[in-house]
């Protein structure tokens, strides 16, 4: 029986604390953005000093640290790039993640030994492109998010000696190759320069419009009387069918205007075809159920998106995908509980993206544009442990009587909270939310643990009770 090679688990690191959490919970490597030359210039703790510290800590733990330098450069960035990347290379990152062909050429000419990984932003979709980049000296290709499992397998067959990396979790970028144009259009903040305003996540409303016969532009139409949402929904449900056949609703052929909540009066035209309304409502990628197949294909690295996400997100995704990889290598069947554990993370609904070819409604969220937690909610971080009690810095509300989960690298524990104290030692019933410090009883390891509140009681028998 052939032993499967465990793919590398690659996590984002928006800060040193998130980097450490990623390693603690199972990551083999992390990636951090280089200021000014990555697509995450905001919410990025990593300046040169932090990059150096992060690389040193990673290597001390036997882990890897990649630096993302993946913008598509304009001329003014070419002028300064080699000067600014030199001290980063001096820190000895395990690889630079790059997208711009010109910048890759310049780096390989000056530092031929520097390992370069081709960013997903280069949107590599076929085996011939993989071979091209291999000839250019690139050691790893982060494949396009547009590929199916079968296409990935074909690339592996045609390119057996090239490292391949695949995204398995996180946001699906709205524009081709991930360089969204909307933020630059709306707010003059260029995502390709690392300043995306995440326009895909804003809260939009629609209103009816007419088409100007002279200009062809959409015009707002003032509504007469009150709008009855329930009646409109009933009418739509009676006449409308999404993908897969059925009668098309006559209103789908009309033009509408889109209005973002924070920009009243700024109206943007939107049209719909028989496949739905495709604008700024992408679901989030989740491929934990495909880890076994990707491992069998021989993918070298599984990548999680989210450098701006929380510490809880980093820890939970690392832990969950680590278990999926270990199960796949050991030949154990997929554990559906792993899907449930990811439901408690911030998400806009999950899809397997293009890994499986499905009707388009599976890629889009028509019901909500925000996270809907079904299993658990992140409520705090353990800051200290003393005499069987843990000091928790609260992030969200929880109370005595709640079922909570202690999330720790040595294993998670579910327990019922029967007692809680405030910072002065007095018993309290409710931790109202951030930023409080409370004490809860713990049994077992809890240093640097995260705490989640279960939204429904566990099905199994009580694991333990948090009592004094």
pLDDT tops 80 at residue 233: no
Give a yes or no: residue 191 inside a domain. no
Phi and psi angles of residue 377, each rounded to the nearest 5 degrees, phi first: -135, 135
pLDDT of residue 48: 92
- pLDDT 10s digits, 101-131: 999 999 999 999 999 999 998 989 999 999 9
pLDDT(353) > 70? yes
Mean pLDDT of the chain: 83
Last residue of a domain, one of 249, 270, 291: 270
Residue 88 belongs to domain spanning: 8-178+283-362
Write the CA distances from 385 to 302, 424, 442, integer angstroms: 34, 16, 9
- For residue 344, what pLDDT is reported? 80
Q: Where are the alpha helices (DSSP H) in 43-97?
A: 48-60, 75-90
- Give the pLDDT mean for 229-255: 59
Strands annotated E in 77-129:
95-98, 116-118
Cis, peptide link before residue 435, omega less than 30° from 0: yes
Q: Is the pLDDT of residue 298 over 60?
A: yes
Q: Is 3 a domain residue?
A: no
Do 112 and 15 reside in the same domain of the chain? Answer: yes
Q: Are residues 451 and 316 in the same domain?
A: no
Predicted confidence (pLDDT) at residue 376 exceeds the cutoff of 50 = yes
Whether residue 371 lies inside any domain: the answer is no
Query: Which sign, positive or negative, has the C-alpha torsion 291, 415, 413, 432?
Result: positive
127 & 233 share domain: no
Are 29 and 136 within one domain?
yes
Q: Are residues 254 and 319 in the same domain?
A: no
Indicate if 57 and 146 belong to the same structural domain.
Answer: yes
pLDDT of residue 195: 73
Mean predicted confidence (pLDDT) in 144-164: 95
Radius of gyration in angstroms for the set of CA atoms belonging to the chain, rounded to a whole number: 24
SS3 (DSSP) at 26? coil
Kindly state the average pLDDT of the residues 372-394.
88
Q: Three-state DSSP class for 323?
A: helix
Weakest-pLDDT range from 275-284, 330-339, 411-420, 442-451: 275-284
pLDDT over 60 (residue 271): no
What CATH number has the domain bearing residue 128? 3.20.20.70
Give residue 462's pLDDT band: very low, low, confident or very high (50, 70, 90): very low
Question: pLDDT tens for residues 420-435?
Answer: 999 999 999 999 877 7
Q: Does 100 lie in the same domain as 25?
A: yes
Return the exposure string of 321-353: e unless at least 16 CB atoms fall within 10 Å of the residue's CB, then b.
bbbbbebbbeeeebeeebbebbbbbbbbbbbbb
Has residue 399 got a pLDDT over 70? yes
Measured CA to CA, the distance from residue 253 to residue 330 in angstroms comes to 53
1 vs 205, higher pLDDT = 205
Q: Could you say which of 362, 387, 415 is where a domain stops?
A: 362
Residue whose tokens read 């909540």:
261
Domain count of the fold of the chain: 3
Is residue 256 assigned to a domain? yes
Mean pLDDT of 177-185: 60
* 152 in any annotated domain: yes
The string of DSSP letters for 194-205 reads: T----GGGS-EE
Would 337 be classed as within a structural domain?
Answer: yes
- Looking at the fold, whether 223 and 172 belong to one and the same domain comes out as no
Kindly state whether residue 309 falls inside one of the protein's structural domains: yes
Q: Are residues 71 and 145 in the same domain?
A: yes
Q: Is the pLDDT confidence value at 46 over 50?
A: yes
At residue 100 the predicted structure's pLDDT band, cuts being 50, 70 and 90, is very high
Strand partners, 11: 30
């Amino acid at each position: 029986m052939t032993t499967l090679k465990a793919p590398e688990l690659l996590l984002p690191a928006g800060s040193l604390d998130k980097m450490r959490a990623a390693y603690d919970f199972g990551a083999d490597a992390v990636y951090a953005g280089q200021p000014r030359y990555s697509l995450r210039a905001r919410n990025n703790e990593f300046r040169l000093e932090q990059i150096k510290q992060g690389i040193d800590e990673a290597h001390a733990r036997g882990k890897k640290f990649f630096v993302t330098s993946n913008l598509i450069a304009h001329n003014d960035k070419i002028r300064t790039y080699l000067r600014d990347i030199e001290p980063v290379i001096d820190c000895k990152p395990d690889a630079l993640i790059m997208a711009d062909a010109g910048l890759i050429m310049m780096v390989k000419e000056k530092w031929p030994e520097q390992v370069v990984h081709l960013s997903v932003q280069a949107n590599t979709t076929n085996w011939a492109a993989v071979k091209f980049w291999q000839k250019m000296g690139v050691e790893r290709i982060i494949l396009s998010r547009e590929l199916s499992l079968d296409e990935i397998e074909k690339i592996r067959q045609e390119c057996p000696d090239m490292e391949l990396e695949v995204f398995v979790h996180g946001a699906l970028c709205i524009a081709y190759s991930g360089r969204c144009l909307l933020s630059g259009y709306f707010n003059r903040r260029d995502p390709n320069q690392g300043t995306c305003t995440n326009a895909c996540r804003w809260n939009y409303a629609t209103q009816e419009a007419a088409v100007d016969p002279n200009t062809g532009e959409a015009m707002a139409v003032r509504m007469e009387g009150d709008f009855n949402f329930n009646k409109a929904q009933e009418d739509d449900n009676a006449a409308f069918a999404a993908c897969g056949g059925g009668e098309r609703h006559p209103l789908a052929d009309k033009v509408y205007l889109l209005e973002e909540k924070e920009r009243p009066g700024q109206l943007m035209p939107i049209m719909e075809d028989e496949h739905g309304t495709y604008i700024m409502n992408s679901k989030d990628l989740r491929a934990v159920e495909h880890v076994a197949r990707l491992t069998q294909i021989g993918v070298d690295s599984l990548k999680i998106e989210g450098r701006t996400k929380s510490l809880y997100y980093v820890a939970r995704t690392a832990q969950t995908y680590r278990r999926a990889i270990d199960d796949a290598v050991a030949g154990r069947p997929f554990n559906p509980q792993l899907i449930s554990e990811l439901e408690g993370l911030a998400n806009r609904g999950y899809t397997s993206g293009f890994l499986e070819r499905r009707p388009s409604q599976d890629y889009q969220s028509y019901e909500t544009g925000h996270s809907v937690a079904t299993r658990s909610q992140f409520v705090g971080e353990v800051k200290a442990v003393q005499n069987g009690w843990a000091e928790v810095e609260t992030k969200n509300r929880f109370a005595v009587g709640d079922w909570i989960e202690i999330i720790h690298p040595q294993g998670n524990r579910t327990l019922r909270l029967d007692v809680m104290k405030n910072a002065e030692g007095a018993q309290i019933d409710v931790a109202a939310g951030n930023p409080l410090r409370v004490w809860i009883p713990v049994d077992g390891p809890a240093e640097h643990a995260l705490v989640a509140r279960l939204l429904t009681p566990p099905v199994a028998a009580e694991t333990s009770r948090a009592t004094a």
